[in-house]
Amino acid sequence: MKVSIQSVNFNADKALIDFVEEKAKQLDKFYDKIINIEVFLKVQQTAEKDNKHVEIKISIPGDEFMVKKQAKYMEEGVNMALDTLKRQLLKKKEKIRD
């Protein structure tokens, strides 16, 4: 499984990149046939406090999942997006079993 991370409008530090990679690799527990994970971290220049956008795209054989979340902190957005993806992957796995 390949994890690629892109930061838009800011430079992500090593700690954030390591955090995202570690969390993304945990999805392998829920669905073992993940081909790749693309993570886009964006900061919008607005007056709002929730200006951090996280988009995660997962490719699996025959399907793709895309989740977009907005949060106050990048880590919070990543956690919310990955929680949503966990549920989607578990649903997909259950559908395959039936």
Reading the chain (98 residues) residue by residue, the pLDDT tens digits are: 899 999 988 898 999 999 999 999 999 988 888 999 999 999 987 777 788 999 999 999 989 999 999 999 999 999 999 999 999 999 998 888 87
Is position 98 within any domain? no
Question: How far is residue 86's CA from residue 81's CA, in Å, rounded to a whole number?
Answer: 9
Which CATH number goes with the domain that contains 50?
3.30.160.100
Per the structure, the complete domain to which residue 61 belongs is given by: 2-93
Is position 43 within any domain? yes
pLDDT per residue as tens digits for the range 82-93: 999 999 999 998
Is position 11 within any domain? yes
23 Cβ contact partners less than 8 Å away, ≥ 6 residues apart: 78, 79, 82
Question: How far is residue 88's CA from residue 95's CA, in Å, rounded to a whole number?
Answer: 11
H-assigned helices in the chain? 14-25, 74-97
Regarding pTM above 0.85, the answer is yes
